[in-house]
Structure 1
């Protein structure tokens, strides 16, 4: 290999020095280099312009003569870097770095750099950072709210065969990602089952996005589900907005009141279910989302299909796993455990001791026909708590006339509270025995009392004790 001549080496060194000088002078921040004693060796043009000094006249002078309040010479003595320090220069608070340059453990130079022209820029950046941190915290809180589910399978209260079988079906449904259709009257707990399925499945740490199809205006439903891009419509956010399906990526989408979904939206939903992709309103970018869908309705979707109000293909796409929750009046054995659970929940919320309920009142509740299901039961108990005078809920505290009890308001035929309670209790006993096929154990469970107490009350009311019984 041909050796370089001394002239070419000198030329190369000059070019390298020229490049380093260009880099030094083109730094956007002010920079200065001194030796270990603080004598200025280099000063770039941005810093000289800021200081209002001549570069040539500054070289060879002590740094303290060029820059006020400098500590470059002190760093040269201590060998300890000073990073992000505040220095007053020309009436402004400036953020500076002072870095010792060492060779063989000895300081040979000090490099100083002005990071910002004024501390006010740092304050502005700090304000922006604080604002961003606040937004992050808010978004994290919203995300946690989205991901959180209040109900689990343990939250589903009931001892009836129907409820126990439904809980097992829900557990099976939770193990896969197939769509689930939950049907049942209003107040039976469809949302509770949806949350329980989400919580029991592999997506439980991901968002649970709930959308009530009946509560969102038709004109806003598409943008609510799929989001929108900037300028999609008048009043749209300049940054656009993600939709529920976008937010539900990796999680569960719960479409409540699916029977109220407008007919024109149904093919769009069908496409999203089949392809797992969509576009924002006003956008052209394809967005993919991996979600699990659960839908619920209190309507007969097959009847809606026959009337042309619901698409058959969408129904088949939704109805892969079907859960049908029976009304509370068809499972009276669930009333007593629900009553106990709801009373305990009311006590927990109010911070008070749990309230007792008399056997007569429990019997009246069990015999009642719950058209509003569990939601109505909860309302009745809350009203009874407000009306009660003693330490337990009695029949007189219930806001309805117990089944089989007739109240006469004829002044000459007013019944006493004791007679009303006795009548209600006898009616409830007969209803429970009839429902249980005269099985005393089952009848006692329906009424929420012990079998021994059932026998005592049957004897009290002159009801026959003979008949089918459990072993």
Structure 2
């Protein structure tokens, strides 16, 4: 008997707990039986409808709730989620959920999700704004981490490039400062990104700054950042500097030889202490970064001219990596040219192109003062001037043909040479466009076929190579 009384007391406590939980649901809620009669009606719903919750028990839902569909959901057994419901002239958002056991509806639970549909619109607006902010932050984060080059992107077969890749891969494994030097267009940023992407810092930002491209009076704020009101035109809430953004990652100081002399001691302090202050602030910011620098200038010459500090040079020149110019890596020219051409044809949605043997010879004999950047320019021009899937000597720019021949003869250009080169170029282009059909080529050139043969013999222009 006592056991039964204890069980009843425990059951009552459980029911009280459920009722307490039901009443403490912040949203207006009700439960009906399968016939639509109210069995539970919580206090928030009573306050919303200005009704006594207890007095609604036992009433049919349609007597209490305007436009109620609880009884319909009980009959269909299908839930209605996030539906519009109008009560007392107010549009609300509600849900009605059938409670089932063994496929049979035992009750229906109804809840007011939003008391005013305007709340939904406001929430949607807020979510849209948040989504825009997230997209902006994701873009900024992507820009910081958007390194696309690895050691696999460094193309070449020469012993120089192989040794250089080995040296750079070793540099990637430690955290010392790297100074990459070489002529313009040799691939200094390519090597710098490859080192970062092979380092333990690869999952963190790679932050670029071009020391030559930023005005002198803005360079300090770009490097170290600033606080609100630091100077006229400063952004509200300030802006972090490149060293701050590079925390745990790599900062790439391109064109370091162009860094103004007055900025050099400030950079030296940051490199040694790994701490700095934003402009207009006294708060110390600490950042853990790795430094990679690049320049096409001779820093030792700049030191002699007192345009570059010796102490900064020694701090930067821990791991020196010198990239030889393309003219000193002749074995790299053809594989690099084919690699670049493949990328170009893919981007232009064209078929793969080949380079004819005499054109290859011209590419290899040229001295490439602009290095890979100039090679890319020449190939792109040749690709668009070619009428087929092969680049011939005649598709190459005039200065390439002349430079190669002048180098071989070791002489300066004359007017006669220029005329000859113009004729050679015109003949090669005509032959290439007519698939080496000499009758069509002579017609295209506006000369007799006999004269074309004579000129081809004079300039040692042979038949189409296999």
Normalising by structure 2, we get a TM-score of 0.70
Where do 1:405-420 residues align within 5 Å? 408-409=414-415, 415=420
Residue aligning to 2:204: 206
Residue aligning to 1:398: 397
Aligned pair 1:300/2:298, yes or no? yes
Partners of 1:80 and 1:333 lie apart in 2 by 74
Contact 2:30 2:38 in 1 (8 A): no
Partners of 1:28 and 1:197 lie apart in 2 by 57
- Which residue of 42, 65, 68 corresponds with 1:67? 65
Query: Secondary structure of 2:114's partner?
Result: coil
- Unpaired segments ≥5 residues, structure 2: 1-12, 427-459, 461-466
Deviation at 1:324, TM superposition (A): 1.2
Deviation at 1:68, TM superposition (A): 1.3
Where do 1:305-324 residues align within 5 Å? 305-324=303-322
Deviation at 1:168, TM superposition (A): 1.0
Residue aligning to 1:242: 240
Contact 2:204 2:248 in 1 (8 A): yes
Contact 1:149 1:195 in 2 (8 A): yes
Q: Deviations over 1:176-197 (max 9, x none)?
A: 1211110112111111111121
Contact 2:398 2:421 in 1 (8 A): no
Deviation at 1:47, TM superposition (A): 4.9
Partners of 1:410 and 1:80 lie apart in 2 by 93
Contact 2:38 2:56 in 1 (8 A): no
Aligned pair 1:180/2:178, yes or no? yes
Query: Secondary structure of 1:176's partner?
Result: coil
Deviation at 1:171, TM superposition (A): 0.8
Residue aligning to 1:274: 272
Q: Deviations over 1:294-337 (max 9, x none)?
A: 11011222333344433333222221111012222333343333
Deviation at 1:35, TM superposition (A): 8.6
Moved more, 88-97 or 178-187: 88-97
Residue aligning to 2:444: none
Residue aligning to 1:368: 366
Contact 2:31 2:41 in 1 (8 A): yes
Residue aligning to 1:252: 250
Partners of 2:323 and 2:395 lie apart in 1 by 31
Contact 1:383 1:399 in 2 (8 A): no
Deviation at 1:167, TM superposition (A): 1.1
Aligned pair 1:116/2:114, yes or no? yes
Deviation at 1:344, TM superposition (A): 3.0
Against the structure 1 CA distance between its residues 300 and 58, is the aligned structure 2 distance closer, same or farther, given a 3 Å change threshold? same
Deviation at 1:198, TM superposition (A): 1.6
Partners of 2:382 and 2:310 lie apart in 1 by 45
Partners of 2:161 and 2:69 lie apart in 1 by 78
Residue aligning to 1:218: 216
Residue aligning to 1:356: 355
Where do 1:428-443 residues align within 5 Å? none
Moved more, 287-296 or 223-232: 223-232
Contact 1:230 1:239 in 2 (8 A): yes
Moved more, 77-86 or 300-309: 77-86
Against the structure 1 CA distance between its residues 121 and 228, is the aligned structure 2 distance closer, same or farther, given a 3 Å change threshold? farther
- Which residue of 134, 142, 154 corresponds with 1:156? 154
Against the structure 1 CA distance between its residues 305 and 123, is the aligned structure 2 distance closer, same or farther, given a 3 Å change threshold? same
Q: Deviations over 1:53-87 (max 9, x none)?
A: 57797677555333313456778999998765543
Against the structure 1 CA distance between its residues 84 and 371, is the aligned structure 2 distance closer, same or farther, given a 3 Å change threshold? same
Query: Aligned-pair RMSD on alpha carbons?
Result: 4.3
Against the structure 1 CA distance between its residues 43 and 263, is the aligned structure 2 distance closer, same or farther, given a 3 Å change threshold? same
Against the structure 1 CA distance between its residues 56 and 214, is the aligned structure 2 distance closer, same or farther, given a 3 Å change threshold? same
Residue aligning to 2:438: none
Deviation at 1:260, TM superposition (A): 1.6
Partners of 2:421 and 2:217 lie apart in 1 by 58
Aligned pair 1:89/2:52, yes or no? no
Partners of 1:80 and 1:386 lie apart in 2 by 64
Normalising by structure 1, we get a TM-score of 0.69
Against the structure 1 CA distance between its residues 250 and 410, is the aligned structure 2 distance closer, same or farther, given a 3 Å change threshold? closer
Contact 2:37 2:58 in 1 (8 A): no
Partners of 1:75 and 1:418 lie apart in 2 by 89
Partners of 2:181 and 2:327 lie apart in 1 by 16
Query: Secondary structure of 2:398's partner?
Result: coil
Contact 2:353 2:391 in 1 (8 A): no
Deviation at 1:94, TM superposition (A): 1.6
Moved more, 139-148 or 252-261: 139-148
Partners of 1:146 and 1:353 lie apart in 2 by 34
Contact 1:40 1:63 in 2 (8 A): no
Q: Deviations over 1:401-438 (max 9, x none)?
A: 22237665459x964879899xxxxxxxxxxxxxxxxx
Contact 2:178 2:292 in 1 (8 A): yes
Partners of 2:32 and 2:342 lie apart in 1 by 77
Contact 2:177 2:292 in 1 (8 A): yes
Aligned pair 1:191/2:189, yes or no? yes
Residue aligning to 2:259: 261
